[in-house]
C-alpha cells in the first residue's frame, strides 16, 4: 500500500493474489496426500513396498490399488494446478488512483497474460466509495467504488476479511483523495 503525500497525485493499493500462506499450506497437504495415494497404488501393482509408514502389499491392485492410483493422479493434477496458480500469482493486482491523468485503474492478474483484467475509468465518473460490513458466521468486510453507469466495483482483496481499522482508513483515504462521499459507515 502506498499512501498519498502532499506532492503525490497518485494513490496505489496493491492486492494480494494466490500467494498466501494458507494456499501454500493447502498445496503441501495435497502433495503429501496425493503422493501417498499414488505410492500405495503403485506398491500394490508392483508388489514392492514404496511407502515407509504402511504395508500396501496386501492390497489387491484391482480394485483397491487402482482406486488409490486414480486418487493419487487426481491429487497430483490438483497440486500442479495449485502450483501454477501460485506461480503466476492469480488474482493479484492493484487499485491505482491517478489525479494527474484523471484515471482510476483496477488491475488483476488472470490465468494467462491474455486474461488479465484492467479496468480504466475517469475520476469524474466516480460517484462514491462504499464500505460493506457484515458480521456473523461468514463475515464480510468489503470496499467498493461506485462508478457512474457501472455500479459498485470491488476494491478489496479476496480471502480473510481485513480489520475494521484498515478498512475504514483505506476507505477514508480513497474518498478524500478522489473528493467523493464515503457511504456505509
- Taking the C-alpha atoms of residue 66 and residue 114, their distance in angstroms, rounded to an integer, is 39
- Say what the pLDDT of residue 123 is: 94
Sheet of 182-183, strand order: 151-154, 140-147, 126-134, 182-183
pTM score, two decimals? 0.80
- Say what the pLDDT of residue 176 is: 94
Length of the chain equals 185
- Taking the C-alpha atoms of residue 125 and residue 102, their distance in angstroms, rounded to an integer, is 10
Asked if 122 and 115 touch (Cβ cutoff 8 Å), the reply is no
Range(s) for CATH 2.30.29.30 in the chain? 10-16+91-183
- Say what the pLDDT of residue 56 is: 85
- Say what the pLDDT of residue 6 is: 40
Question: Beta strands 103-108 and 117-122: pairing type?
Answer: antiparallel
Helices first, then strands: H and E counts in the chain:
3, 8
What architecture is the 10-16+91-183 domain classified under in CATH? Roll (2.30)
- Taking the C-alpha atoms of residue 101 and residue 169, their distance in angstroms, rounded to an integer, is 24
- Say what the pLDDT of residue 144 is: 94
Q: What is the pLDDT of residues 133-165, one digit of tens each?
A: 888 888 888 999 999 998 899 998 877 778 889
What are the pLDDT tens digits along the chain (185 aa)? 555 444 488 999 999 999 999 999 999 999 999 999 999 999 999 999 999 888 888 889 989 999 999 999 999 999 999 999 999 999 999 999 999 999 999 999 998 888 899 999 999 999 999 999 888 888 888 999 999 998 899 998 877 778 889 999 999 999 999 999 999 87
Amino acid at each position: 500500500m502506498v499512501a498519498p503525500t502532499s506532492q503525490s497525485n497518485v494513490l496505489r493499493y496493491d492486492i494480494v493474489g494466490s500467494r498466501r500462506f494458507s494456499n501454500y499450506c493447502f498445496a503441501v497437504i495435497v502433495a503429501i496426500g496425493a503422493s501417498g495415494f499414488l505410492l500405495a497404488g503403485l506398491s500394490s501393482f508392483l508388489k514392492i513396498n514404496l511407502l515407509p509408514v504402511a504395508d500396501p502389499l496386501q492390497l489387491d491392485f484391482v480394485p483397491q490399488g487402482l482406486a488409490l492410483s486414480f486418487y493419487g493422479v487426481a491429487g497430483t493434477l490438483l497440486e500442479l494446478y495449485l502450483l501454477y496458480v501460485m506461480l503466476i500469482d492469480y488474482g493479484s493486482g492493484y487499485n491505482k488512483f491517478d489525479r494527474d491523468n484523471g484515471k482510476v485503474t483496477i488491475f488483476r492478474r488472470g490465468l494467462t497474460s491474455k486474461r488479465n483484467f484492467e479496468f480504466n475509468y475517469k475520476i469524474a465518473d466516480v460517484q462514491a466509495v462504499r464500505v460493506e460490513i457484515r458480521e456473523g458466521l461468514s463475515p464480510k468486510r468489503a470496499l467498493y467504488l461506485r462508478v457512474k453507469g457501472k455500479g459498485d466495483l470491488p476494491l478489496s482483496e479476496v480471502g480473510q476479511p481485513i480489520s475494521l481499522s484498515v478498512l475504514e482508513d483505506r476507505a477514508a483515504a480513497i474518498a478524500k483523495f478522489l473528493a467523493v462521499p464515503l457511504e456505509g459507515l
